[in-house]
A = this chain, B = another copy of it.
Amino acid sequence: MEHGGDIYTYGERFKGEILDYSSNINPLGPPEGLMDHLLKGYDELLRYPDIQYRRLGREVSAYLGCGMENTIVGNGAVEIIDNFIMDSHRVVLMEPCFSEYELRAQAHNKELLLIQSKKDYSLDLDSFMGKLRRGDLVILGNPNNPTGKRIEKEELIRLHEEVVHSGAYLLLDEAFFEFSPEDYDSVELFREWGYESVGIIRAATKFFSLPGIRLGYCCAGAIKAKKIRGLQLPWSVNSMADRAGLHIFKDKEYISMTKEYVNLRREELLDGIKKIPGIHPYPSQSNYILLRLEKVNEDYIFQKLINEGIMVRKCSSFKVLSDNHIRIAVKDLKSNQMLLEKLSRIMANNSRE
C-alpha cells in the first residue's frame, strides 16, 4: 500500500535531498532540548520499558486532561487503531480516509461498512442514521486525511448520540488535531460523558515532528481503555518514545507557536494555490491540503516535481479519489514558495503544450 514519506523509493532516483511534501509533519522540527533529553536517557535502551508505561501514562493524562485510567499508549497511533479494530465486530468508515483503517480491518477479517460523505467530503450525518449496530467501530479522522476536514462540533455531538443509541463505538483519529484552528477539543467535549463509547487518538509522530520514534496515545472510557491495553503487544512502545513523553508535552510555547505558524502558512499556501490555473485546493483545517487537478493527472505532476527534487502524495490509492488528486504538506515559507513557483510553471507549460 502506498503511503506518504517514502523518500527511500524515490530518493535513489533523484540525486540530492528530496523535499518531502508527501508526509505531514511539523515544519518547525521537534521541540527544543528534546534531543538532549533523549541523549541523557540513552541507557534506558538497555532496560525493558515499564510494561505498564506508568510514567508515560501520567504525562499523557496531564497533557490531554483525562484520568490515568483513560489513557492508552501505542507504537504510533496505528497500533492503537489496530487494537480497537481487533475488539470490534464491524468497521464503519467514510471514504476517502487513511488507508490503514481498511487494511487493518481486512488483516483481522472484519466486516466493513463504507458510508458516503457529502460531495465536499464533509460528514453526512443522515447517511449514518439507522445504519449502525452493536459492536460497530466507527473510525473517523478529525481532521480527516487526506481531505483536511474537521467534523463540525454539533454534528459530532449528534453522531455520538447515534453511536451510543445503537451500541456502536466511535473512534476519532486526531493525529493532526494540534494543527487545527481552535474550534473545540474532543477530550473536553466528551469528558462529561466519561468517554462513553468514544475514543480519541493523537500522536507524537506529526505534531512533535518525530515520525521515527513511534508514539501514539489515546483517551477512552476506563473500561474500554483497560480492555484495549489488555489486547496490546507487551513493550510495544520503545524506551526512547517512552522517554520523549517526559519532555514534549511540557513545551507549551512550542505547541502554541506551531499552531500559529501552521495556520499562517496554510492560509498563504491556499491563497497561492488558488491563483494557479487548473489546480483546485479543498479548504483544510490541518497541515496538508488536498488538491484536485484539471487536465493533468497525479502522475504528471508527481513526475514533473520529483525531477526537481520535490515529492508530493499521489491520491488514487485513497478509495473514491480518482487519479486527479494530490496531497501536499504545509511547510516553511521558503519551501512553500518554491513549491508554488514550480507548480505554476508546470501548469503554465502544460497549457502551452
Bound CA span A76–B42, Å:
18
Identify which of residues 44-72 in chain A touch chain B, using a CB-to-CB cut-off of 8 Å.
44-52, 54
Beta-carbon contact of A212 and B75 below 8 Å: no
Bound CA span A100–B100, Å:
26
Bound CA span A235–B212, Å:
8
Beta-carbon contact of B209 and A46 below 8 Å: yes
Identify which of residues 165-210 in chain A touch chain B, using a CB-to-CB cut-off of 8 Å.
209-210
A254 to chain B, nearest CB (A): 15
Q: Which of A76, A209, A240 is most buried by chain B, counting CB atoms within 10 A of its CB?
A: A240
Using A213-B238, A214-B238, A240-B240 as known contacts, say yes or no to A48 and B23 having CB atoms under 8 A apart. Answer: yes
Beta-carbon contact of B233 and A47 below 8 Å: no
Beta-carbon contact of B5 and A76 below 8 Å: no
- Residue in B48, B212, B230 whose beta carbon sits within 8 Å of that of A48 in the complex: B212
**Nearest B residue to A6 by beta-carbon distance?**
B51
**Nearest B residue to A22 by beta-carbon distance?**
B48
Note all chain B residues with C-beta closer than 8 A to A257.
none
Identify which of residues 310-348 in chain A touch chain B, using a CB-to-CB cut-off of 8 Å.
none
Note all chain B residues with C-beta closer than 8 A to A82.
233
Beta-carbon contact of B7 and A212 below 8 Å: no
Per CB-CB distance, the 10 closest pairs between chain A and chain B, nearest first, are: A212-B239, A5-B48, A8-B50, A45-B212, A48-B211, A214-B238, A45-B213, A107-B231, A238-B238, A44-B212
Using CB atoms and an 8 Å cutoff, list the residues of chain A in contact with chain B.
1, 3-9, 23, 25, 29-30, 35, 38-39, 42, 44-52, 54, 75-76, 78-79, 82, 86, 100, 104, 107-108, 209-214, 230-231, 233-236, 238-242
Known contacts A3-B234, A212-B239, A214-B236; 14 further A-B pairs (Cβ under 8 A): A4-B48, A5-B51, A6-B48, A8-B54, A29-B46, A39-B42, A45-B240, A46-B212, A48-B212, A75-B233, A78-B235, A211-B235, A212-B240, A214-B238
